[in-house]
A and B are shown apart, each in its own frame.
Chain A
Amino acid sequence: MTAPDAAGAADAGSGIAERRLHPVTPLRRAWAPVAVVIGWAVHDPDGAQRNLNRLGTTTLLIGLAVILPAAALYGFCSWWFTHFAVTETELRIRTGLVFRRTAHIRLERIQAVDVTQPLLARVAGVAKLKLDVIGTDKKDELAFLGADEARALRAELLARAAGFAPETAHEVGEAPSRQMLRVPPGVLAVSLLLSGATWGSLAAALVVPPLLWLATESVWTVLAVALPLLGAAGASSVGRFVSEYDWTVAESPDGLRIDHGLLDRAHETVPPGRVQTVRIVEPLLWRRRGWVRVELDVAGSSNSVLVPVAPREIAEVVVARVLPGVTVPEQAALSPSPRRARWCVPVWWRGYGLAVTDAVFAARSGLLRRSLALVPHAKVQSVRMTQGPWERARSVADVCVDTGANKTVRARLRDATEARALLAAQAERSRTGRRDARPDRWMA
């Protein structure tokens, strides 16, 4: 596959070179109508047969002769009228034949850059590039670009966002990266076998359909329930294995790089200072092996896994890299809720814990599946204290910290006096924590 040349359709006013997407792009939606027809035929085979007979070969051929060129024309037009251009400060995407749409994405606001290659795109040698900025959606991804072109574009966008001089930006190239962690397939497989979601969905898929069969004796009902259940069971076991296969976390001057996937490959880059929250999750069955899962939240991005499974010490090293200057508080350093909180949340109150260090607000929750959420003070958008009537009777209160990734971290059931002091102190820290934060343009 050849990369498309710069289409030469230079913007008349500014002289910015606009480019088009890869020529295979129109084919990406070609499977949808085919799938609809097949789905309809499978759902109701007799009806499909009858309709086919009634229509006759001539009508069908004429129909195809009309539909195929129309679809091809639509695909061609949507490709022809989609342009993108990289300017000094923005990525501009111009699209639409009838309803024109122009998106200008400011580069210093980049929260993450994802290059993904679904299986078929890998075969065709193309890739999708998506800039995560708050407010962007599916329409703002560049699908598809040639694989090399996507990589070069990502490097250029990151260089411009980092604050390199515009004239050198496209010569900077890929920043060198250093691998921090790679999850071996064996460990990943064992970790999935030890997680409750896998067995729960599998059990549901095996138990519910026979029960339904006993109750209704209708094949269609059983199929309609069993297929989604099997799908869910597959997605939570095999699906997760396939998507988290060969999980690699690397560090580069451009930020964090996460590469993963067996069939669909995904390459994510999170520039420095973009991580809003990190959660260290420890399922019950992983505890004996000392494994944890690390999740992260980046504003405007849908990716949420940082490390699918790793020993706690290694995971803590990765967290310390992701949130500079943060050390994960020890289990013992977390102060538990006061004992009287047991009247508000009977057994699970033991799971709550809180530690506030100079750099981070850390709240733990969960008894069996422990989850420790870390929010750097600089990322706190607002602080709230809430207290229901039942909590007030026990003089405890919840402290909530809102972050820019639309996630709220709650420190539940703190002593009311402590919570009030925490509210004031946290607002102060959130204000001062910003002072030594890195600038948006991290190389500037």
Chain B
Amino acid sequence: METGSPQDTGPAGTEGAAGTQSATGAEGAAETVGGTAEADGGTAEAAEDGPVWIALPPGLLKMRRLLLVVWLGLISLAAGLVPGLLAGPAWAAFALPPLALMGWGWVMTGRNWRSWRYAERADDLLISRGVLWREETVVPYGRMQLVEVTSGPVERHFGLASVQLHTAAAATDATIPGLDPAEAERLRDRLTELGEARSAGL
């Protein structure tokens, strides 16, 4: 499973290991067996069917980090300057929490961005995302009712677009953000084409 782009292997691998470790600590030997079984199952599946995972282009990460730095930079500037000038230099330390938040956000956006990936298989689309709360969605092409490409003003400035798939179930949350517009359009056309070929009602 973790055989996609090189960015994927890093965090996913370490987290998997961490998960197994904590489970081992709590549950003892039985859990270790479970852990290895999971790893085996994973490699077996990757070998036999191996969806080709595609990671998101770096544009989204750049945009999110820039927005983060701009907003939190302004906030920390305000939080530092206002008390610092009014009450004395020591109070400028109020700028530190937003700065710490910025650093944390910087790391988290990176991890979140790396966790996003999608794969077009013969009959369905796979979307996998999330670091702590992981979610993997499978949408058969035949069930797609609508494919939407959206791009807001900020996204457009960074040359990004997102593709959203709608099925008859509103709970289906299949969005791929931060794609290159050309890739988004290619994906939209391909999905529409595949959806028409395999179309099915409710």
Contact = CB atoms under 8 A, between A and B. Distances in A.
Interface stretch (A77-85, A146-154, A284-292, A424-432): A424-432
A402 B138 contact: no
B201 A402 contact: no
Interface string A99-112: 00000000000010
Contact of A379 (B20, B136, B202): B202
A417 B41 contact: yes
A424 B45 contact: yes
B135 A386 contact: yes
B133 A395 contact: no
B142 A402 contact: no
Contacts of B173: 384
A340 B31 contact: yes
Interface string A383-415: 111111100111100001011111110000001
A400 B134 CA distance: 13
A299 interface: yes
B135 A384 contact: yes
Given A395-B34, A417-B38, A423 B136 contact: yes
A395 B30 CA distance: 12
A414 to B, nearest CB: 12
A389 B19 CA distance: 9
Contact of B168 (A299, A384, A428): A299
A415 to B, nearest CB: 7
A180 interface: no
A393 B1 CA distance: 19
Contacts of A388: 132-134
Given A381-B172, A392-B134, A395-B35, A420 B19 contact: no
B145 to A, nearest CB: 9
B19 A404 contact: no
A276 interface: yes
B38 A382 contact: no
A404 B168 contact: yes
Given A383-B137, A404-B169, A434-B142, A395 B38 contact: yes
A221 to B, nearest CB: 40
B138 A381 contact: no
B81 interface: no
Interface residues of B, number: 42
A386 B31 contact: no
Nearest to B51: A424
B202 A382 contact: no
A440 to B, nearest CB: 6
Interface in B1-43: 1, 15, 19-20, 22-23, 26-27, 31, 34-35, 37-38, 41-42
A431 B123 contact: yes
Interface in B37-59: 37-38, 41-42, 45, 49
A416 interface: yes
A347 interface: no
Contact of A395 (B23, B171, B172): B23
B168 A381 contact: yes
Interface string A184-198: 000000000000000
Interface string B120-155: 000110000000111111111011000000000000
Contact of A431 (B23, B124, B172): B124
A270 B124 CA distance: 30
B143 A381 contact: yes
Contact of B202 (A276, A383, A428, A430): A276
B170 A382 contact: no
Interface residues of A, number: 45
Nearest to A406: B170
Given A387-B133, A404-B202, A421-B41, A431 B140 contact: yes
B133 A389 contact: yes
B100 interface: no
B164 interface: no
B95 interface: no
A17 interface: no
A434 B1 CA distance: 28
A426 B171 CA distance: 17
B38 A383 contact: no
B167 interface: yes
Contacts of A427: 123-124, 138, 140
Contacts of B26: 343, 393
A408 B172 CA distance: 9
B23 A389 contact: no
A416 B38 contact: yes
Contacts of A305: none
A134 interface: yes
Interface string B155-180: 00000000000011111111000000
B74 interface: no
Interface string B92-131: 0000000000000000000000000000000110000000
A382 B134 contact: no
Interface in A248-296: 274, 276
Contacts of A340: 23, 27, 31
Nearest to A435: B200
A96 to B, nearest CB: 28
Interface of B: 1, 15, 19-20, 22-23, 26-27, 31, 34-35, 37-38, 41-42, 45, 49, 123-124, 132-140, 142-143, 167-174, 198, 200-202
Given A393-B26, A404-B202, 14 more contacts: A134-B202, A340-B31, A382-B139, A382-B167, A382-B171, A385-B136, A386-B133, A386-B134, A388-B133, A388-B134, A403-B169, A404-B168, A406-B169, A431-B140
Interface of A: 111, 134, 274, 276, 299, 340, 343, 379-389, 392-395, 400, 402-408, 415-417, 420-421, 423-424, 426-428, 430-431, 434, 437, 440
5 contacts: A381-B139, A395-B20, A405-B169, A424-B49, A428-B123
